[in-house]
Amino acid sequence: MTLNKILIISGTHGNEINPVWAANQFIKQPNTKDNNIEYKFVIGNPLACEKGCRYIDRDLNRSFGLIKNNLNSSIYEINRANFLVQKFGAQGSEPCEIAIDLHTTTSNMGTSIVMYGRRRKDFCLAALLQHKFGLPIYLHEKDKKETGFLVEAWPSGLVIEIGSVAQNFYDLNIINRFLIIINSLRDEINMLKNNEIQLPKDLTVHVHQGSIDYPRAKNGNINALIHPERINKDWKPIKKGDPLFIDMEGKTTSYMGEDSIWPVFIGEVAYKEKNIAMSYTKKEVITLSNKIFKEFSN
Amino acid sequence: MTLNKILIISGTHGNEINPVWAANQFIKQPNTKDNNIEYKFVIGNPLACEKGCRYIDRDLNRSFGLIKNNLNSSIYEINRANFLVQKFGAQGSEPCEIAIDLHTTTSNMGTSIVMYGRRRKDFCLAALLQHKFGLPIYLHEKDKKETGFLVEAWPSGLVIEIGSVAQNFYDLNIINRFLIIINSLRDEINMLKNNEIQLPKDLTVHVHQGSIDYPRAKNGNINALIHPERINKDWKPIKKGDPLFIDMEGKTTSYMGEDSIWPVFIGEVAYKEKNIAMSYTKKEVITLSNKIFKEFSN
């Protein structure tokens, strides 16, 4: 793949406002050496951004599996997904080879990378960032309930997920973290194209295994909350007997699996409606062949 | 005034979910001595709670000045305000003498009290809580742009405002703080009715002076953010020359008034649409006569 254009998407969720600010601030920076790679910037869901809500009709970042059969949908996000792919997709009018989708979470994930499936090019991009910053990587795969992610519609792409930060709350620390990532990604890709980069052979990823819902009453209402011992403990292992939830009477629900799990998106506000209190992963070490780093070289 | 019933309202804003949980948890507690005072609990805006948004048509907590002339409004919150007053107001079918309205904020206000105007009974309630916990008090008055607050529709009432916590995010620390306040208020009111309480002669309040909007572009978009030196510094004085905002180029806007001001609701997410980046106050010491503590005694 010849790498000419990279698409940076912010505001895929309209209430995640710090990436939008960071992207606008990045654009204002004086040009630096960019190795002939053009960066395109787009707001994923402008109407939701205007209204300060996650989405209008349905989650845009779960709508990219539906676009082929819905060319003239009445659903705003399906039309928007179509528009983004028709304009910036690999066969689009301004084709981009990589999509970087910038997100925030109310969970204490820190600065992290989310990958969807095991594409060689994605491993390469993730390795660049993990090598530089040691960022944790969440590899999402094999979950039939959660599909149609934006970056899957491009030949290669990652989500940068930073938290914790509240929805609709401007936080300069979070904005600065996005700027560091965007700037570094540009620098690293330049070095990669110039064969100036050496990467380790191994990549540690947290592989999605499933999700755990809140305990709920018969009417569907949540009736126990994330246990204080779990709050803010994303990426920290949970072992048998560790408490997960606590109800109004102080009764706890504990994890009873035999194997340790590594939780992510603990208490993410937007996932309550998806019946997800947290997702859980297992650690896996991926061995990278040197060949994959040539994916992006000319 | 004979005090028989106290109304505790939560969910006046549908995305402030911790007070609702705290109220439900309080109700489940075993009964304790209550001095014949009945506590009523109600969700202020049940439809907004269901949808996880602040309001449906307009802010319920700015709608209580409109109800007299709008008995059959098409606006959900005006009808809801009417319902609450007709049921629980002083002349309602289940009349309550005091309304305690439980709120959260995304600002770092801590546990605080908001009063609306200078009603003698409200000073008494506020003094009870300030005496016990040293809570800061924000006295909101003389602001023509922000009117129609819920507690103003009752003979006496306060807002308990706790932050920082994100909208729609369950936080057990915040819930516990509400439980402490509700339990303490009950205990203190019982002692007050039994003349078992001695209060100090002075009450320190932060009196509302005005609000400061974000710097904005011509199209209305915010183009500078709260300065890092101001973030989380609610209640901490701002003096001449202190930075307030910072834009994308790093240019700061500073406070140029001669007198120090004390800011509140710094960066509150819900106030962006009200063109408020922060409100500011001046400190005032109110001398209380002993008589006001007899307001609630039988």
**pLDDT of A21-34, one tens digit each?**
999 999 988 765 56
Both tokens assigned to A222:
């949540």
| Exposure string over B161-170, b if 16+ CB within 10 A, otherwise e | bbbbbbbbbb
Sign of dihedral through CA atoms A26, A30, A32, A36?
positive
The reported pLDDT for the residue numbered A289 is 76
Rounded-to-integer distance, Cα A233 and Cα A105, Å: 14
User: Which pLDDT band, with edges at 50, 70 and 90, does B103 fall under?
Assistant: very high
Closest chain A CA to residue B53: A53
Which residues of B lie closer than 8 Å to A, measured between beta carbons?
21, 24-25, 28, 52-53, 106, 166-173, 175, 222, 225-226, 228, 231, 246, 248-249, 267, 269, 272-273
Contacts of A25 in chain B (CB under 8 A): 248
- For B179, which residue in chain A has the nearest alpha carbon? A248
Q: pLDDT, tens digit, for every residue of A36-64?
A: 789 999 999 999 999 999 999 999 999 99
Residues of B in contact with A228 (CB under 8 A): 172-173
Maximum Cα–Cα distance across chain A: 62
Among B17, B49, B165, B167, which would you mutate to test the A interface (most chain A Cβ atoms within 10 Å of its Cβ)? B167
Residues of B in contact with A166 (CB under 8 A): 106, 166-167, 169, 269
> Which value does ipTM take for this structure?
0.90
The sign one gets for the Cα dihedral B250, B253, B259, B260 is: negative
Q: CA-CA distance, A277 to A244, in Å (whole number)?
A: 10
- For residue B252, the cross-strand partners are B246
How far is the C-alpha of B253 from the C-alpha of B223, rounded, in Å? 11
Rounded CA-CA distance A289/B227 in Å is 46
Lowest mean pLDDT among A16-30, A46-60, A182-196, B253-267: A182-196
Report the chain A residue with the minimal C-alpha distance to residue B26.
Answer: A248
* pLDDT mean over B49-56: 96
Contact B168 A170 (CB under 8 A): no
Contact A28 B228 (CB under 8 A): no
Closest CA to B271 of B87, B86, B145: B145
pLDDT tens digit sequence for A129-155: 888 888 999 999 999 989 999 999 999
Residues of chain B with Cβ-Cβ distance to A28 below 8 Å are 248-249
Residue A101 has pLDDT above 60, yes or no: yes
Minimal CA–CA distance to B103: which of B94, B114, B95? B114
How close, in Å, is residue A287 to chain B by CA atoms?
38
- DSSP characters for B228-248? TTTTT-TTS-B-TT-EEEEET
Note whether A226 contacts B272, CB cutoff 8 Å: no
Chain A: closest CA distance from residue B223 (Å): 9
Mean pLDDT of A13-20: 98
Nearest Cα of chain A lies from the Cα of B168 at a distance, in angstroms, of 6
Would you state the pLDDT for residue A271? 97
Is the per-residue pLDDT at B192 higher than 90? no
For chain B, what percentages of helix, strand and coil (3-state, to nearest 5) are there?
Answer: 30, 25, 45
Which residues does residue A38 pair with via DSSP β-bridges, in sequence order? A5
Chain A residues with CB under 8 Å of B108 CB are: none
Cβ neighbours, 10 Å, residue A136? 22
Taking an 8 Å cut-off on Cβ atoms, the answer to whether A168 and B272 are in contact is: yes
Name chain B contacts of A248, Cβ cutoff 8 Å.
21, 24-25, 28
Dump pLDDT digits (tens) for B162-174: 999 999 999 999 9
Q: From the list B52, B228, B272, which residue is nearest A172 (CB)?
A: B228
The count of other CB atoms within 10 Å of the CB of residue A67 is: 22
Q: Do A228 and B269 touch (CB under 8 A)?
A: no
Residue B203 Cα, gap to closest chain A Cα (Å): 33
Tokens of B191: 């002692």
Residue A282 CB contacts under 8 Å (≥ 6 apart), including other chains = A206, A207, A209, A259, A261, A262
What is the average pLDDT score of chain B? 92
Contact B166 A106 (CB under 8 A): yes
Q: Mean pLDDT lowest for which of A240-249, B7-16, B61-70?
A: B61-70
Distances (CA, A) of B295 to A9, B122, B153, B155, B253: 60, 10, 18, 11, 47
Q: Looking at beta carbons, which residues of chain A come within 8 Å of B269?
A: 166-169
Interchain proximity B167–A166, CB inside 8 Å:
yes
Residues of A in contact with B222 (CB under 8 A): 170
> What does the longest C-alpha to C-alpha distance in chain B come to?
63
CA distances from A29 to A24, A32, A117, A182, A283 (A): 9, 8, 33, 12, 38
Length reported for chain B: 298
Measured between CB atoms, which of B106, B171, B228 is closest to A169? Answer: B106
Q: Among all residues of chain A, which has the CA nearest to that of B228?
A: A172
**Nearest Cα to Cα of residue B266 among B298, B289, B237:** B237
For residue A220, what is the nearest residue in chain B, using CA coordinates? B50
Nearest chain A residue to B221 by CA: give it: A50
Distance CA B121, CA B296 (A): 8
Using alpha carbons, list the distances in angstroms from residue A90 to A63, A161, A193, A298.
18, 24, 19, 17
Give the minimum alpha-carbon distance from B84 to chain A in angstroms, rounded to a whole number.
24
- Whether residue A166 and residue B21 make contact (CB cut-off 8 A), yes or no, is no
Please answer yes or no on whether B225 and A168 come within 8 Å at the CB atom: no
Q: Report in angstroms the alpha-carbon separations of A175 from A7, A30, A104, A264.
A: 18, 18, 10, 21
- Is pTM beyond 0.90? Reply is yes
Nearest residue of chain B to residue A222 (CA atoms): B21
Long-range contacts of B68-73 (CB under 8 A, 24+ apart): none
The pLDDT of residue B2 is 73
Whether residue B24 is predicted with pLDDT greater than 80 in this model: the reply is yes
Assign A189 a pLDDT band (cuts: 50, 70, 90): confident
CATH architecture classification, A5-204+287-294: 3-Layer(aba) Sandwich (3.40)
CA distance B211 to A4: 48
SS (H, E, C) chain A: CCCCEEEEEECCCCCCCHHHHHHHHHHHCCCCCCCCCEEEEEECCHHHHHHCCCCCCCCHHHCCCCHHHCCCCCCHHHHHHHHHHHHHCCCCCCCCCEEEEEEECCCCCEEEEEEECCCHHHHHHHHHHHHHHCCCEEEECCCCCCCCCHHHHCCEEEEEEEECCCCCCCCHHHHHHHHHHHHHHHHHHHHHHCCCCCCCCEEEEEEEEEEECCCECCCCCECEEECCCCCCCCCCCECCCCEEEEECCCCEEECCCCCCEEEECCCCHHHHHHCCCEEEEEEEEEECCHHHHHCCCC
Chain B positions in Cβ-Cβ contact with residue A170 (cut-off 8 Å)? 222, 225-226, 267
